[in-house]
Amino acid sequence: MSTDTHNIPEDHAEHDTMNKKRIWRVFWILVAITTVEFIIALLLVPRHILPINMANPVYIVLTLFKAFYIVAYFMHLKFEKVGMAYVILIPIIFIIGLILVLTNESHHWLDMRG
């Protein structure tokens, strides 16, 4: 039997771009983002260098960046076709928007009770 590498299906060729070098690069990006989150949480907020009302949006943005890298590279969404990516990303965007709206409006419930 000969091994003919020219007849590799397209689906398999798309996922070949995720090699060890890229995995380690994404890993170090995730470690860097997590380190920034820990620095903010353990050094900047307790020493009142960064107020908590400014730290929370930074946490949210950094967490969204980490979620992007995890979904894009480790769940291989970056290598999927555009339609498949939209099917997954558009509901996530709406859910994030819903969470932001509910978080913003939640203080009205406390005002109504008392």
pLDDT tens track for 33-51 = 999 999 999 999 999 998 8
What residues contact 55, with CB distance under 8 A and at least 6 apart? Answer: 40, 41, 44, 45
Q: In the prediction, which pLDDT does 54 show?
A: 86
Q: Rounded CA gap, 65 and 73, in Å?
A: 12
How far is C-alpha 57 from the geometric centre of its chain's CA atoms? 14
pLDDT tens track for 56-106 = 888 888 988 898 888 877 777 666 777 777 777 788 889 888 888 887 777
How far is C-alpha 37 from the geometric centre of its chain's CA atoms? 14
Q: Which residue has the higher pLDDT, 108 or 6?
A: 108
Domain residue spans in the chain? 18-79, 81-114
Question: Is the pLDDT assigned to residue 32 strictly greater than 90?
Answer: yes
The answer to whether the beta carbons of residues 42 and 49 sit under 8 Å apart is: no
Assign 75 to helix, strand or coil. Answer: coil
